[in-house]
Structure formats: structure tokens, C-alpha cells
Amino acid sequence: MDLPIFVLNPFVIAGVILGLAALAYLVLALYFTWRFREKPVTPAAGFRPPVSVLKPVHGAQPFLYECLRTFCDQDWPEYEVIFGAHSESDPAVAVVKRLMSEFPDRDLRLVVDASLVGPNPRASNLANIYRAARYDILIVADADLKVDRNCIASLAAPLIDPKVGAVASIYKGLPYGGAAAADFGTMNISDWFAPSVLVDVGLRGIDFVFAMCSVRREALESFGGFNHLANFFPDDFALGNLTAQRGYQVVLSSYCCDTIVAEKSFSELFRHEILWQRMERFCRPGDHFMSVITWPLPLLLVLLLPWPTVVGLGIIATEIVLRIALHYQVRRSFRMNTPAQPWLVPIRECVCFFAWAFGLFGNKVKWGKNIFTYETFRKLIADGRNVTPLGGDRVATSLGEK
């Protein structure tokens, strides 16, 4: 039986429009991912400023020692690594002290301070660490990131330009623990998140940073520093956005770090991904809604399969083929060692879609003992140009609800 080429059905028309938008996105994603090449950056001759690495820690994940150790062995002439915890009884403190004894010749320090300058415990931890930092170039990095010896050099290099205020390092997923959920989780980060960032940066530039970035001290203090960022969740996006609002450039480095994915169950992974989606909606609500074109497969199946046509089936097939091609391109561009799993790509896209759909609902995110609201986050971002520089008299509005 021959299939019709096309039918004038509103569902089919909607599916074709969505499919064509998704195919256009995938072509852009393939292009910008192909153009990107993960590689270390060599600083200009004579540019070797001292650097402060700020490492907030909490808990004792099994990968913590391995990740923190990579920041203690950097190919850079002068740097300090300052770890911070809120309590001496935090299990991470023992890991940090082990590293301090293992690298006695390195400038490694630990700040234990229970002070909270805002409802975000990570940014409050960074605010406590920051007071001990001696240098004007800062690298901020989460505890679950793993780097090589070129990390400091690569993130410091772009700051030779005084107009650059912050440098973002994109990350890729690295599974830990051997759980199937961890392997599945890395696909979302590497195959969907990373290419979407490259498309965004390629089309309109960058005004955000991630879990690891470098920042110039004067840029950080221009909007109130970590004291102000402690009112935000997520605070990393706010750091880049406020830096750009104050007139500094934010650039994307070609240096990539690994973020550990260690979820042991699919339910834990799915809850985590819903949280990510809700945070994305907090940061860029319009972009978050339009990101449906990055994981459209479930909608395409619902809209096009009940009324099969040559055009509709062709769109579905092409979308899957291009997505698998992107799966392989990501592994080349980001120098990934994990094996390709093309048969999982359609399933992974469906899970991404449902996490996105759940993330459309709810205007609050609970983090620790505090609740962060969409409305207050958007207001703080909008008011960023009027924030008093660090040391001013104005007190930032609290974003948390106890």
C-alpha cells in the first residue's frame, strides 16, 4: 500500500513544522560541534599570573579524592587551592587534609566556616573561601569535576585581555561506579547539553558560565561577589550573566572538564534531570520552552505516526539519523573515551523530553533547607545592573524561604 506524501491534518502539519525545526537545529548542532575541538589553551608568552582556585566541598563521595587531587597537580608556576567546608565534621574535610599531607609543597589551604551570607550554601561556602584568596584571577570549580594538568593554564589564558571578565569551561559526562544509570546520565550531558551550548554560543555569544570557570576579581566584585551570588540558585549562571551585565566579556574556552555522573538508579537520575530542567527554566524561560526542538522524538511519534505519510516518516527517520550522527561527532570533538551507544539514542531522547516536560511545572526548587523561587530569581537577574559593588552598603534581597 502506497503512503500519501502529505495530508492536511492539523496534527501532521504541527508535527512537520516541529520536525523541520528540529532538523534545522540538528544541522546547526552538527556544524558547531564539528567546528569545536577540545584542546588545552597555551597562554601568551610571559603571561603567568598567580591564580587562586576555589573549591567548595561537601560530603564524601567515593570519587572526591580523585577529583580534588587533579587540582593539586597543575602545570602552573604559582597557584593556591583553597578548599572550603561549613563544618569540621564534614567527611570531605578528611579528604582535603589527606591531600594537604600528600602535597606539602603545594599551597593548599582549608577554610572551615559555618557562616551563611545567603540561602545558597555553595555560594556561601565560596564567599567564605574568597576572603582567604590572595590573587586576582580566580578559578571556581565544583568538587565533582575532574581535570588534567592544563586546567589552570587554559582558563587563565583568555584573561590576558582586560575586557574579558570570565571564562567558561564546558563539561562532558564521565560515568562513575559502573551503574547503568550513570552511563545513561552521561549521554544527556554530552549528547544534548554540550551541543546545545555550542549552538547557543555560536549563534549569539555567551553570557553564562558553568560549574567551572575563571573570573577576574574586579569583575566579580563589580556586582557584589559571592555575597550577592548566595541569593541565587543556580549561582554559576548568575555569575556569568551578572559579569556580562557589568560590561565584561564572557568567553567559552576550548578546554573541557569531566563532570562525574554517579547516580545508582534511574529514578535518582530522572529526579536530578528534572531539577536541571527547572533550573534552566529559571535562567532562560523562553529558551527552555523552545528547547523542545532538541528532543522532539516523542512528540513527532505522537503527531506523525497515527497518520503516516512519506514526509512524516521521512522526518522521523532523518531526525534519528542526524541525532546518531551527532552522538558520534560529540565523541570526536570532545575526545570521549566512553564507547558509542547509538541504539540508546532514541530512548535517551525520550527520557530527556519527559524530564523537560516535568520541568515546565513548578516555580520553586528546594536546595538544602531553602526554597528558591522562579519569580525572585528573575527579578534579581533583571536588577543585576543596579547591584552595589562588593563593599557597598546595600544588602541583597534574600531569595530563600526557610
Kindly state the average pLDDT of the residues 73-92.
Answer: 96
CA angle, residues 263, 59, 177, in degrees to nearest 5: 30
Q: Which of 284, 257, 245, 49 is nearest to 166 (CA)?
A: 245
pLDDT of residue 376: 80
For residue 384, the model assigns a pLDDT of 64
**Residue at 67 is within a domain:** yes
As a whole number, mean pLDDT of residues 188-201 equals 96
Q: Which residues of 92-103 are buried (b: 16+ CB within 10 A; e: fewer)?
A: bbebbeebbeee
Q: For the beta carbon of residue 4, count every other beta carbon within 10 angstroms.
A: 12
Residue range 142-183, pLDDT digits in tens: 999 999 999 999 999 999 999 999 999 999 999 988 889 999
Grid coordinates representing 15 are 508535527
Q: What is the mean pLDDT of the chain?
A: 91
pLDDT digits over 314-354, tens only? Answer: 999 999 999 999 999 999 999 998 889 999 999 999 999 99
| Per-residue pLDDT tens over the stretch 104-154 | 999 999 999 999 888 888 999 999 999 999 999 999 999 999 999 999 999
Q: Is residue 169 part of a domain?
A: yes
State the Cα–Cα distance between residues 157 and 139, nearest whole angstrom.
Answer: 12
Kindly state whether residue 192 falls inside one of the protein's structural domains.
Answer: yes
Asked whether residue 4 is assigned to any structural domain, the reply reads: no
Q: Which CATH number characterizes residue 232's domain?
A: 3.90.550.10
> What confidence score (pLDDT) does residue 387 get?
67
Q: What percent of the chain has pLDDT over 70?
A: 95
pTM of the model: 0.90
The confidence score (pLDDT) of residue 386 equals 66
The verdict on residue 305 lying in a domain is: no
Specify whether the CB–CB gap between 174 and 182 falls below 8 A: no
The range of the structural domain enclosing residue 113 comes to 51-266
Domains identified in the chain, total number: 1
Q: State which of 3-7, 39-43, 93-97 shows the largest mean pLDDT.
A: 93-97
pLDDT for 397 equals: 30
Residue 356 is assigned to a structural domain of this protein: no
Predicted local confidence at residue 400, as pLDDT: 37
| Residue 88, in any domain of the structure | yes
Number of Cβ within a 10 Å radius of residue 268: 14
Would 30 be classed as within a structural domain?
no
Check pLDDT > 80 for residue 395. Answer: no
pLDDT at res. 390: 67
For residue 283, pLDDT beyond 90: no
The pLDDT, as a whole number, for residue 372 is 81
